[in-house]
Amino acid sequence: MYNTALRIVQDEAEAADVLQEAFVDAFTRLDSFRQESTFGLWMKQIVVNKSISALRKRKLAFQPLEDGEQLIDETEEEDSLEWQIEAIKAAINQLPDGYRLVLTLYLLEGYDHEEIAHILRISEATSRSQFLRGKRKLLANLKN
């Protein structure tokens, strides 16, 4: 859970605070756990939501689409190169918050664009565009 928070907020102290808030929140709302999913999934959702709230407090800004910019098919940009984990982490950390958050939720946490849109309160198209643009920027960061 700590790693999930850390990937989203990008600060160790803030991730620890988020995790503590999430556990307090889970403990106080334990009676609302309906066992429709595992406790771990329920807890992870609380951690993700608390992490996103922490980012919103920092005024998370999504990158707007420029006029005439087209979305490209995800299959056009295949990750064919193998990179070391530290290089990938460093490149992800260099991304703007909006790109990094959507990329992290999609690639590392396993959410789909519909779920990301719901969690972040954005449109599904915005989630997709942030993912694709973030992926392009990540690849550019890795090539440098």
The pTM of the full predicted model, rounded to 2 decimals, is 0.54
Question: Residue 142 and residue 136: Cα distance in Å, rounded?
Answer: 10
Place of tokens 């990329």: 103
- Looking at residue 110, what is its pLDDT? 84
* CATH level 2 (architecture), domain 82-143: Orthogonal Bundle (1.10)
Question: Residue 11 and residue 97: Cα distance in Å, rounded?
Answer: 12
The pLDDT tens digits along the chain (144 residues) read 998 899 888 889 999 999 999 999 999 988 888 877 788 888 888 999 898 888 888 765 556 666 555 555 444 444 444 446 777 888 888 899 889 889 988 988 888 898 888 888 889 999 999 999 999 999 888 887
HSE-CB for 133 with a 13 A CA cutoff: 21
Q: Please state the domain extents for the chain.
A: 2-57, 82-143
Helices 2-9 and 39-57, packing angle to 10 deg: 20
Take residue 141 and report the two structure tokens written for it.
Answer: 């960061």
